[in-house]
Chain A
């Protein structure tokens, strides 16, 4: 006996909207449509929805649940694959527990500082701490909003030129600002909220060097080095950190290729090598006063993440000194980057 969406909703306790959303997300599929065009579901769909509800109560995301359902219905899937997904979930939950424990510790320290009497709120140590925390976040956010990124564009512009870049993707959020001092050197500030395995925030000065440039009639090739040192905040501890990266690129008016490797060292936290490669093509040859369009494919490899390549198809637009990029990665992260030169 096939079920209409109303009956399925009644059986599972979900709203019709939620059922349609699960369908849109690829978790369930109606068996067929009635002559009047209504969705008709198999009675087994109620079992699938109960599975989804159970997995959601264990904090699995809809994307993870979809993968579990695929494994559940596959003849070739093994218990080992389910085990891996579950172990990842346990690690995630343990990280959250550790974070919550730290929050409890901080709050307990604050409670101890509070006199708890008729002292004016202007002298309240708890409010004072929150104001200071907000100020730090605000400063970091302001800094991040006014900075450029080395990972997707040339880190040196023109003598006397300033470049601000921001990059948001599956590796985290990067912001930087560079000032080009000579044709071969730029100095700047670099900040990144790292999400490539271990999560931490880094900020520090960076020097960018143009090691070699080939200016050819039909193309340009470059090799750059970006080296910096600063501090990284990890679980409320501040650790010294240092990084160095090499970026090579070659482009014509129709073809683009680049490769970057960056070594990151954060004392007591991690030492990692992150790699990124890009290929792209322009569907038309845009001239100087026209909007340029590029289609690109980016591959990221961060061994600390999960040892797999992350592929991001993206589109790049630029007009004069403004560049925008948007993409969507194979691990379901939206990418959005921008650069301004002035």
Chain B
């Protein structure tokens, strides 16, 4: 019985960490989709990234990470800066 409880606890703990993140970055300078393709190409090179969505209207870059993988705020900021833009805010949704 103890073994079953232990196994269940481990599985629950695992299920708790094995989620995908949605990272939303507000970006300044996001006015031209031709130039902004650099953001998509740069982020998609990251193994943790599942999907990237750029929205010029809301000036928002939405990154979905792969299940169980994460991308630090500092990494997101550096990658978007390397693509030529400025990050003003980052929000995360589980």
Seen from chain A, the residues whose Cβ lies within 8 Å of a Cβ on chain B are: 153-154, 156-161, 182-183, 213-220, 251-253, 285-290, 292, 318-321, 323, 339, 341-342
Residue numbers in B under 8 Å from A285 (CB-CB): 56-57
CB contacts (< 8 Å) of B84 on chain A: these are: 156-158, 183, 213, 215
Using Cβ atoms and an 8 Å threshold, which residues of chain B touch A342?
A: 41
> In the complex, A216 Cα to B27 Cα: how many Å?
9
Please give, as numbers and ranges, the residues of chain B lying within 8 Å of A153 by CB-CB distance. Answer: 34
- Is A215 a contact partner of B86 (Cβ separation < 8 A)? yes
Set B38, B57, B59: member contacting A157, Cβ < 8 A: B38
Task: Please give the distance in Å from B15's CB to the nearest CB on chain A.
Answer: 34
Q: Are B41 and A288 in contact (CB under 8 A)?
A: no
Whether B73 is near chain A, meaning CB under 8 Å from some CB there, is no
List chain A residues, Cβ under 8 A from B59.
217
CA A219 to CA B86, docked complex, whole Å:
12
A24 to B41, alpha carbons, bound, how many Å?
49
Q: Within 8 Å CB of B33, what residues of A? A: 286-290, 292, 318-320
Contact of A159 among B37, B55, B82 (CB under 8 A): B82
Contact A323:B28 (CB < 8 A) given known A159-B42, A213-B84, A215-B85: no
B48 within 8 A of A: no
Q: Identify A158's interface contact among B27, B42, B53, CB under 8 A.
A: B42
Cβ of B18 under 8 Å from chain A: no
Residues on the B chain within 8 Å of A319, using CB: 33
In the complex, are the beta carbons of B31 and A288 less than 8 A apart? Answer: no
Q: Which residues of B contact A288 (CB under 8 A)?
A: 33, 36, 53-56
Contact-size category for B:
20 to 34
Considering the chains assembled together, what is the distance between the CA atoms of A219 and B28 in angstroms? Answer: 8
Given contacts A288-B54, A320-B37, contact A158 B83 (CB under 8 A): yes
Q: B82 and A183: CB pair below 8 A?
A: yes
Query: Which chain B residue has the least Cβ–Cβ distance from A222?
Result: B84
Q: Which residue of A lies closest to B87 (CB)?
A: A215
Interchain nearest-CB distance for B84 vs A (Å): 6
Q: Does B9 contact A (CB under 8 A)?
A: no
User: 1/0 contact trace for B13-43 toward A, CB 8 Å?
Assistant: 0000000000000011101111111110110
A159-B83 in contact (CB<8A): yes
A217 touches B28 (CB 8 A): yes
B62-94: CB near A (< 8 Å → 1, else 0) gives 000000000000000000011111100000000
Q: Which 9 A-B pairs have the closest CB atoms?
A: A158-B38, A215-B29, A215-B86, A159-B82, A220-B29, A158-B83, A215-B28, A318-B34, A288-B54
Are B38's CB and A287's CB within 8 A?
Answer: no
Complex: A296 Cα to B91 Cα, angstroms: 38
Which residues of the partner chain A approach B29 to less than 8 Å between Cβ atoms? 213-216, 219-220
Nearest Cβ on chain B to A300's Cβ, whole angstroms = 23
Does B3 belong to the interface (CB within 8 Å)?
A: no
In the bound assembly, the distance between CA atoms of A157 and B85 in angstroms comes to: 11
Complex Cα spacing A160 to B32, Å: 19
CB contacts (< 8 Å) of A215 on chain B: these are 27-29, 84-86
A-B contact pairs, 10 of them (CB 8 A): A161-B42, A182-B82, A183-B83, A215-B28, A219-B31, A220-B35, A292-B32, A320-B37, A321-B41, A339-B34
Cβ-neighbour of A251 out of B28, B31, B56, B83 (below 8 A): B31
Nearest-Cβ distance from residue A213 to partner chain B, whole angstroms: 7
> B34–A292 contact, CB under 8 A?
yes
In the assembled complex, the CB of B33 is this many whole angstroms from the nearest CB of chain A, namely 5
A321 with B31: CB separation less than 8 A: no
A287 engages B81 (CB within 8 Å):
no
- Whether B45 sits at the interface, judged by CB under 8 Å, is yes
Residue contact A341 to B37, C-beta cutoff 8 Å: yes
Q: A183-B81, A215-B85, A288-B54 are in contact. Are A161 and B32 (CB under 8 A)?
A: no
12 more contacts with CB within 8 A, not counting A159-B42, A161-B42, A287-B57, are: A158-B38, A159-B83, A215-B29, A219-B31, A251-B31, A252-B31, A285-B56, A286-B56, A288-B55, A321-B37, A341-B38, A341-B41
